[in-house]
Amino acid sequence: MGVKPSPGSRRRRLWELESKMHCPVVGVCLPTAVLRRVVEKNFRGSGKNIDKDYELHSGAVGECRSRSQLAESMQRELEQRYGASVRQAARIKTTDALLAWLDGSQRDLAVALWATVTHPRCSAELEHQVHGEFTCCSTRWVLDLEIHGCHWLTVL
């Protein structure tokens, strides 16, 4: 299933992303403490005590495959955290301009990832490139992740 840039202005939701994007989105865009809070709020009283960060991450990634209650809660959290930047990126009208924005002065990796992969102009090719850069393949992003204190790569 390929990603086609939308002719409209509707951004994709978390559960509409390619499944390969769920791991980097959850790992980069939702700090462990925030993810734990969202999960605990959704499963309050149901015995879903997840002690290990890897289990928390893996379970959340699995929930992103469909429009589940947890996926909707993570979507709301992501929109709240990155809404201002996403609205700014909404002015971008072409895939090439989106790529230039991504390659530009973006220093907040979570903003860059979330705003790009959910953008209506994010093509399958751009999503593939972003996926490659937000996994262990890119020294540039790994160094930036270390500088920003994100340690999501350690749980993969």
The pTM of the full predicted model, rounded to 2 decimals, is 0.78
Annotated domain spans of the chain: 15-155
Instruction: Report how far residue 124's alpha carbon sits from residue 48's, in angstroms, rounded to the nearest whole number.
Output: 35
22-31, 44-53, 93-102: least confident range? 44-53
pLDDT bracket for residue 64 (50, 70, 90): very high
Per-residue pLDDT reduced to its tens digit, 3-18: 554 456 789 999 999 9
CA separation, residue 132 to residues 5, 24, 128 (Å): 19, 10, 6
Per-residue pLDDT reduced to its tens digit, 82-112: 998 899 889 999 999 998 888 875 568 888 8
